[in-house]
Amino acid sequence: MEADLPAPPARATGLLGLTRRQWRAAIIAYLFLLPALVLLGAFTFYPVLFGTALSLFNYDVISPPRFVGLAHFRALATDRYFWIALGNSVKFLLVVPVLQILSIGLAVAVNRPLRGIRWFRAAYYLPVVTSMVTAGLMWRWLLEQDGLVNFVLLKLGALPRPVSWLGHPDFALFAVMFVTLWKGLGYYMVIYLAGLQAIGPEFEEAAVTDGASRWQVFRLVTLPLLRPSILLASTISAIAALKVFEEVYVMTGGGPMFRTFTMFFYIFDKGFQQLDLGYAAALAVVLAVAVMALSAVNFRVFRQGGWSYY
């Protein structure tokens, strides 16, 4: 009897073994993605390809481009300002661990059901929504030799005499770092706050039941569960540290004595002030490679498991 039953009709398959229905679903999905893909191609992929190609040419907007091959990259080895800018950008990475530690601590502090805690969260987030130009001008005024910071420190007896925080070669870069840290603290606090609120209370309750102290719960339960947030925040902040520009442009203009020259500021200086667009593109390629390498290291470090209570 079973042998006499008709065989089920074969499903029509096309290219790549997909059925007509699957092809239709794929086409509809890509049509929805098309606007985003067009914008991504126009404002991300095309500039990357164009900038990489431009790094192989001499171009000053006025004269036609002239092919020079890898000459710009070879010139970087003996470019004093390139090494100053690269060194300062690497120093800016010192902000990243400090910023992450303070942001986690702040997120833990405001992750409590206290009365008025939302106002505290909004106050900590206020610098994030303040434009960098406004914040830079405000801090430039505060850090002047006769500014409010020196006034307070002199009254407290912490300084023997006023200090030119943005004019002193040894202090200028650290003053700009402080403003970067102050402005980014609330942003990363929100990332960690979202991560903390996504952790179920049963994990911490189980650790407390097992006899773990509050510090052990935080170090061996909360931090491992925060690893995705730490990966995101540390990667974003490391990339932002290498791309610092607005703070430097508004507060110091690269001075004093090139002590606050960063890679992004040097790219701007070469490309838009000296109109050496080919050399600026070569600098941008080096910076892009550094950013990708640093991101790869971040992913490798924070995706490898780590500490855990259980």
79-302 maps to CATH 1.10.3720.10:
yes
Q: Higher confidence at residue 259 or residue 300? A: 259
Q: What is the mean pLDDT of residues 75-86?
A: 95
Task: Check if the beta carbon of residue 260 is closer than 8 Å to that of residue 173.
Answer: yes
pTM for this prediction: 0.85
Task: Check if the beta carbon of residue 82 is closer than 8 Å to that of residue 283.
Answer: yes
Domain residue ranges in the chain: 20-71, 79-302
Q: Higher confidence at residue 247 or residue 204? A: 247
pLDDT tens by residue, 85-118: 999 999 999 999 999 999 999 999 888 877 778 8
Residue 231 has φ and ψ, to the nearest 5°, of -60, -50
SS3 183: helix
Q: What is the mean pLDDT of residues 169-188?
A: 94
Pair of tokens at residue 199: 């952790």
SS3 244: coil
